[in-house]
């Protein structure tokens, strides 16, 4: 396992960090982000959702952009495929015969359905750990409304294993079990499992763990801040790990990242859920050709595999999308994601038709009548500039 560093203090970024990001912040304040999606009711625009989209190749060259590619975001759940590298490289897959389905759920923001619960429980039984160790909480869970209704009907309170981040937390618990580290405190900043996860994330983003800017995620562990273009670059790595140069320090991640990518591609229902989850629906519409991974506050990372576009060309890439207002109803991220993929030639024909309900999310009245729609309205510009 690589050397790991202590956590960075969670506060205002250092003076050096502030100095390096100040010009970007000034530019962002000077230009209002473009409207990506409008909520339209009988021809009347009721609300607008502004945001940013950037697509890059494996080397970080921008291919398409709208808005500010340097908009700093917290990764939230988009970090999960990269943090799972820590367990894979530590030998956890072989230690407990972890399957590709079980690896996929460790990258997930799952819906808390029985399928997800059973998958995690199976790992815990083989590893000899208790699900009571999970410290992710239960607030607002499970995400799946049918599962939540059934639990309420039966008078059953959801346990932390139904939390969308229980798969991610399992990475820390299993690392701790494997290494003989304390189990109950796995979520604390100074725990060695957190340090190992942090080091894996830093490597995937081509930086050092000591330079990471962190905050606290909703499930109680660290999240990390990066510009959107760096999120897209990491997802380009996920799309085609072997495409990066052997001189790139990230090349050491190739075996683990490839294994994680293939697990996610094989099990889209475990990456999100079986009902009304855009990530799963996009991946099922383009089987084996794309990974979609959302994070809270309307962030999404997309790994586009080579040969996916309408003309069969273009190679692999990564895309990152951010809706400025956080998109509490998800309608803007749904519409903007599908439209962006259509504009870069990834979604077309039958797959695009299959995703129609996400492309123009409808609002219905109690009688089932269509009363409003979310309509994506933007042009994703192609560019050829290098990332500096």
How does pLDDT run across 43-70, given as a tens digit for each residue? 999 999 999 999 999 999 999 999 999 9
Quote the CA–CA distance of 83 and 70 in Å, as a whole number: 22
Strand partners, 363: 372
pLDDT tens digits for range 41-50: 999 999 999 9
DSSP label at residue 264? H
Pairing of strands 317-323, 290-295: unpaired
For residue 242, what are its two tokens? 């072997």
Look at residue 16 and tell me whether its pLDDT is greater than 70: no
Q: What is the torsional sign of CA 302, 305, 308, 309?
A: positive
Q: What pLDDT score does 312 carry?
A: 61
Q: What pLDDT score does 27 carry?
A: 45
Quote the CA–CA distance of 119 and 289 in Å, as a whole number: 24
Look at residue 386 and tell me whether its pLDDT is greater than 50: no
User: Over the chain, what is the mean pLDDT?
Assistant: 91
Quote the CA–CA distance of 130 and 349 in Å, as a whole number: 47
* Mean pLDDT confidence for 26-40: 77
Give the rounded distance of the alpha carbon of 229 from its chain centre.
14
* Mean pLDDT confidence for 161-169: 98
Quote the CA–CA distance of 234 and 291 in Å, as a whole number: 12
For residue 214, what are its two tokens? 């962190």
Q: Comparing 7-11, 32-36, 134-138, 142-146, which segment has the lowest mean pLDDT?
A: 7-11
Q: Which helix (H) or strand (E) is 268 found in, with range?
A: helix 268-271
Q: What is the torsional sign of CA 377, 290, 234, 236?
A: negative
The model carries a pTM of 0.90
In 10 A of CB 345, how many CB atoms?
A: 15
pLDDT tens digits for range 301-324: 999 999 888 766 678 999 999 999
Q: What pLDDT score does 384 carry?
A: 59
Confidence band, pLDDT 50/70/90 cuts, at residue 209 = very high
For residue 61, what are its two tokens? 């060259």
Strand partners, 49: 37
């Amino acid at each position: 396992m690589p050397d790991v560093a202590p956590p960075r203090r969670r506060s205002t970024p250092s003076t050096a960090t502030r100095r390096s990001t100040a010009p970007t912040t000034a530019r962002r304040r000077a230009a209002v982000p473009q409207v990506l999606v409008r909520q339209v009711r009988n021809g009347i625009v009721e609300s607008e959702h502004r945001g940013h989209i950037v697509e890059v190749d494996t080397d970080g060259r921008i291919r398409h952009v709208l808005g500010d590619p340097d908009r700093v975001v917290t990764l939230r759940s988009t970090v999960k495929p990269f943090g799972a590298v820590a367990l894979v490289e530590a030998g956890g897959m072989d230690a407990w015969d972890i399957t590709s389905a079980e690896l996929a759920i460790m990258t997930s923001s799952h819906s808390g359905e029985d399928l997800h619960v059973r998958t995690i429980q199976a790992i815990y039984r083989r590893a000899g750990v208790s699900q009571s160790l999970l410290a992710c909480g239960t607030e607002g869970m499970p995400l799946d409304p049918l599962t939540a209704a059934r639990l309420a009907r039966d008078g059953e309170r959801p346990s932390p294993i139904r939390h969308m981040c229980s798969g991610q937390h399992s990475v820390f618990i299993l690392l701790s079990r494997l290494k003989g580290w304390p189990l109950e405190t796995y979520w604390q900043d100074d725990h060695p499992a957190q340090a190992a996860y942090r080091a894996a994330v830093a490597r995937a983003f081509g930086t050092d763990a000591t330079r990471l800017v962190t905050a606290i995620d909703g499930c109680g562990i660290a999240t990390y801040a990066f510009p959107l273009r760096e999120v897209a670059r990491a997802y380009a790595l996920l799309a085609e790990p072997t495409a990066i140069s052997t001189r790139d320090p990230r090349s050491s991640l190739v075996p683990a990242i490839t294994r994680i990518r293939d697990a996610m591609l094989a099990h889209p229902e475990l990456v999100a859920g079986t009902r009304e989850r855009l990530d799963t629906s996009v991946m099922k519409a383009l089987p084996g050709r794309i990974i979609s991974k959302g994070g809270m506050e309307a962030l999404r990372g997309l790994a586009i595999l080579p040969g996916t576009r309408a003309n069969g060309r273009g190679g692999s890439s990564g895309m990152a999308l951010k809706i400025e207002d956080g998109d509490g109803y998800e309608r803007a991220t749904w519409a903007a994601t599908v439209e962006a993929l259509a504009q870069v030639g990834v979604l077309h024909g039958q797959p695009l038709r299959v995703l129609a309900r996400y492309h123009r999310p409808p609002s219905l009245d109690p009688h089932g009548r269509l009363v409003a729609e979310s309509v994506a309205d933007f042009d994703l510009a192609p560019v050829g500039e290098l990332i500096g």
